[in-house]
Chains A and B, each alone.
Chain A
Amino acid sequence: MAAGVLTKGLCGFRQPRIVAAGYSCSGPLYATATAVKTLPLQTDSTAVTDKIQNLPLETPDFFHLSELFSLKDLFDARVHLGHKKGCRHRLMEPYLFGSRLGQDIIDLDQTMAHLQSALNFTAHIAYRGGIILFVSRRRQFGHVVESTAGDCGEYAHTRYWQGGLLTNAPIQYGSGVRLPDLIVFLSTLNNVFQQHVGVRDAAKMNIPTVGVVDSNCNPSLVTYPVPGNDDTPAAMELYCRLFKMTINRAKDKRRQMELLQGLSPPGLTQGSS
């Protein structure tokens, strides 16, 4: 009978669905309605919070990220290998060291400098509690990227990019959604070798981007391009490991600073420094 079917359907909706083990979801997925309780903006920002925010900005390498990687590590992970010279993008020519047997070689000295600044920027964003979104449309590495994001407590998007995710966010997700503060592209191309829509959308929404640009990519819209290989598993695992270590380091540093300054976690009463 139709009535029986309908009640069964309703019961199915009512139970909160259990998310796959390993990923905790503290909010209920389905409920009749929940209102967002936003924290009142702290208009009286104390000197302590200011100090915590601004202290990393005083030293150039506050998080000591230069010790995480060396030129030899990049070489061993085959980061310097680009595509064949027929696939070369005109705007990538400044980043190329040369070409051997028709294959472009990326200049690792420049990559070191770019990677340092990109990781430094990511660390600062993570330190300030920003939302970092990892994007890659390579199906080979989707799982690795998602696991990396899960491990550092950030977000990943390695699936089909629906058009209005960033530009039409209130309609897509609900009003009051917070957009990512940094988007990290582990490959700026999509499955048809065109530039990923996210690069353009992030530029439109004033969201800074960090991107690994291979010799066939367009680096112009990426805020912190990192010229390097995005096709080899070794290179991708290196990048994922580096980003995970930077973010974890930055978050740990933040917790440490808050403890040192005697600041309890947000939401509770502030202690004296």
Chain B
Amino acid sequence: MAASGGRTVGSFLWKCGNCCFNFNTVSSNLTRQVLSRQLCVSAVLHRKNLAAAGPEKFSEEFIKKQVEEFNIGKRHLANMMGEDPETFTQGDINRSIAYLFPSGLFDKKAKPLMKHPDEVFPKQRAVQWGADGRPFHFLFYTGKQSYYSLMHVSTGSLVGSRWLLKEELEELLVETISEHDYARFIQLMERLLSLPYCSVEEDFVQRYRRQLEIQSSKQQVQPLQYDQHGVAYSTGDGRRKTATGTVLLRDSGSGSISINGTNYVHYFPVLQDREQLMFPLHFMGVLGRFDMQCSVSGGGHSSQAGALRLAISRAMLSFLSEGQVETMRQAGLLTPDPRIKERKKPGQEGARRKFTWKKR
């Protein structure tokens, strides 16, 4: 008879199937409560590290010997009870033992027991490494190899993809689908992905996902256009605060600029605004080369100048080489200015200005 006490996971069980003992049925209620209490304080369940449960107390040969002895003993018991050794079940064993060794003890663990050694000896984790010391599992050194291998989901392609849209699904299935049906479908697929071993059904899942296109933020350079005289021209538009402007840039010109039909000197009397218009051309050294026709609306004079500056820079891209485009980008000419008017907040006079603080 093997180890008893709180260490064994399998407590000694009595299948009270054929219990004709009255006191047994009375005590079974108590023992059931005792059982549940025993489980709670079982040392095995409290032990934090199930993997390394101390040195192995029972070697493989010992367990094998115990199993052989149990099988032989079972046959002897069957013969003793006059039953067929081949069809002698655990229930029969229990009943025979109860008959041969009647026990008046109340504690289940104290009663005589005959069970298969696997149920009696505590579970010990098999040694996780081979003869040369190399562990079998590649996540062995994490300590929780099984758990982390579950976390290591091989559906890496979930990252850059999205579920099918309702229209795409309809197209795939050649059937009309309602919103409700589509929502249920998405719910089902998410549920499937949340289960362990979902990597087994990866092909099925991939059929209902589409790759997301990587949005490159490179500048889209429009090709040059030529009018009927063979003169190259290009257009660009830009925005700043609430002003929007468009520019038509013509090559082989004299550097004249007209805005909304009027000369730029008249439209922008302030020097700063005219400098803003000039800056992209001056930066690339093409001041006298282009003729410009601009139209602008919205905002104030400064934001209109900024909008036109961005429009000019974008229109110029078609005339420039890659390296020059890069220098323009680094100079900040191609970046739209994201600043807008900040909203006024309640309890304050403006966006930032607070009401005058009065001491009393």
Contact = CB atoms under 8 A, between A and B. Distances in A.
Interface of A: 1-3, 6-7, 9-10, 13-14, 17, 19-39, 129, 131, 133, 143, 146-147, 149-150, 153-157, 159, 162, 165, 170-178, 180, 266-267
Contacts of B99: none
A143 B159 CA distance: 12
A27 B57 CA distance: 20
A162 B147 CA distance: 15
B123 A13 contact: yes
Contacts of B11: 6
B148 interface: yes
Given A34-B60, A155-B139, A173 B128 contact: yes
B143 A25 contact: no
A35 B11 CA distance: 25
Contacts of B138: 23, 146, 149-150, 153-156
B13 A6 contact: yes
28 contacts: A6-B10, A10-B9, A14-B118, A17-B146, A20-B196, A20-B199, A21-B197, A21-B199, A27-B126, A28-B126, A30-B123, A31-B125, A32-B118, A32-B124, A33-B124, A36-B127, A36-B131, A39-B131, A131-B133, A131-B135, A150-B138, A154-B138, A162-B143, A171-B49, A172-B49, A172-B52, A172-B143, A178-B134
A31 B63 CA distance: 11
B137 A23 contact: yes
Given A10-B9, A159-B148, A173-B51, A35 B56 contact: yes
A178 B136 contact: no
A167 B55 CA distance: 18
Contacts of A9: 9
Given A2-B36, A155-B141, A156-B138, A29 B146 contact: yes
B124 A31 contact: yes
B129 to A, nearest CB: 7
A170 B55 CA distance: 10
A6 to B, nearest CB: 6
A20 B56 contact: no
A34 B131 contact: no
A38 B133 CA distance: 8
A26 B135 CA distance: 10
B142 interface: yes
Contacts of A14: 118, 123
B137 A25 contact: yes
A20 B152 contact: yes
Most A Cβ at <10 Å: residue of B11, B154, B196, B200: B154
Contacts of B132: 39, 129, 266
Contacts of B152: 20, 143, 146
Contacts of B154: 22
Interface in B40-68: 49, 51-52, 55-63
